[in-house]
Amino acid sequence: RIVYVNGRWVPEEQAQVSVFDRGFLFADAIYEVTAVIDRKLIDYAGHLARLKRSLEALSIPLPFTDDELLGLHREIVARNELESGLIYLQISRGAADRDFLFAADMAPSIVMFTQKKNILENPKWKTGLTVKTMPEGRWMNRQIKTVQLLYSSMMKMEAERAGADDAFLVEDGYITEATSSNVHIVTKDRRLVTRHLSNALLHGITRASVLSLAKEVALQVEERAFTVLEACDAAEVFITSASAFVMPVVRVDDAVIADGRPGPISQKLLEIYIKDRMASAI
């Protein structure tokens, strides 16, 4: 792969970042993951807007114009001949001698790489996922998309050891998120319930798109916290993310959701998400 590091395009083996980079020493960095299908960017405007919000929250300057940043996305797709997959973009505060205090004028480090992936042929869409609930243990500013992913990674490992695909993180009985996606349920009376936006969760770009499409197909949306019990008792459970789009969940701990197969509303939302987002991909 050809990767981007601080203004240079280099083969991945030659890419280097300083050992003093604050992304490495303090997780002082934010990131975005954007899906690519047919060499086009899915939901790019949303990802760009959130990137700016995350940087703003940490007072890290964005050293590019919108056109330049879009140009970098297009160039990494072209240089890697990426038909379908993901673009990872990380911006850290930069490198400085290790100190909790940092200067206001540091030069940010920017890294980009691609991951090839056949996004439109996800075998898990047909079977759905099984998940285990785990205690929420992340920091309280989850709306900022930082690279502080250790807790989520540990919980996903634990879920895998328990034979599940992913973990749902639970705070005071309520589900916040899965390890790298937003969680939604469809109640037996066909309402789509998803946790309201706050600092308890990442404001998913796919979540926002799916909610607006749900309204278009006359599905009533309720943005509020919901419990593990409500999820276990739901007609459907699904997660959303830029890499898996709309992914059904068929088991939560020991509770099988409905008949244990992906439900019709999740399938419909996946279908219309793909259609709508591919039509507006850039």
Catalytic residues: 145
Our finding on whether 242 is near ligand PLP (CB under 6 A) is yes
Query: Which of 109, 114, 181, 266 touches ligand PLP (CB under 6 A)?
Result: 181
Nearest-approach distance from CB 90 to ligand PLP, in angstroms: 13
Interaction pattern, residues 10-49, with ligand PLP; x per rule: CB under 6 A = -----------------------x----------------
Q: Name which of 124 and 188 has its Cβ closer to ligand PLP.
A: 124
Our finding on whether 166 is near ligand PLP (CB under 6 A) is no
Query: Which of 180, 225, 262, 269 touches ligand PLP (CB under 6 A)?
Result: 180
Query: Which of 30, 206, 226, 263 touches ligand PLP (CB under 6 A)?
Result: 206
Nearest to 149 by CA among 170, 173, 169: 169
**Which range binds ligand PLP by CB under 6 A, 79-87, 92-100, 177-185, 270-278?**
177-185
For residue 201, list its beta bridge partners: none
CA separation (Å) from 205 to 13, 86, 195? 32, 15, 14
Nearest-approach distance from CB 250 to ligand PLP, in angstroms: 20
**Which range binds ligand PLP by CB under 6 A, 93-101, 110-118, 126-134, 197-205?**
197-205
Residue 260 Cα to chain centre, angstroms: 25
Our finding on whether 130 is near ligand PLP (CB under 6 A) is no
Nearest-approach distance from CB 170 to ligand PLP, in angstroms: 14
DSSP string of 31-46?
Answer: EEEEEEETTEESSHHH
| 7 class by beta-carbon count within 10 Å (0-12 exposed, 13-18 middle, 19+ buried) | exposed
Q: Name which of 56 and 81 has its Cβ closer to ligand PLP.
A: 56
**Which range binds ligand PLP by CB under 6 A, 86-94, 110-118, 205-213, 250-258?**
205-213
State which amino acid sits at residue 134: M
Task: Show the DSSP H helices in 174-263 as ranges.
Answer: 205-216, 228-232
CA separation (Å) from 109 to 42, 145, 226, 266? 24, 16, 39, 39
Nearest to 168 by CA among 227, 243, 234, 210: 227
Our finding on whether 54 is near ligand PLP (CB under 6 A) is no
State which amino acid sits at residue 255: A
Nearest-approach distance from CB 147 to ligand PLP, in angstroms: 10
Phi-psi region of 216 (alpha: psi -120 to 50; beta: other; left: phi over 0): alpha
Question: What residues line the site for ligand PLP (CB under 6 A)?
Answer: 33, 177, 180-182, 202, 204-207, 240-242
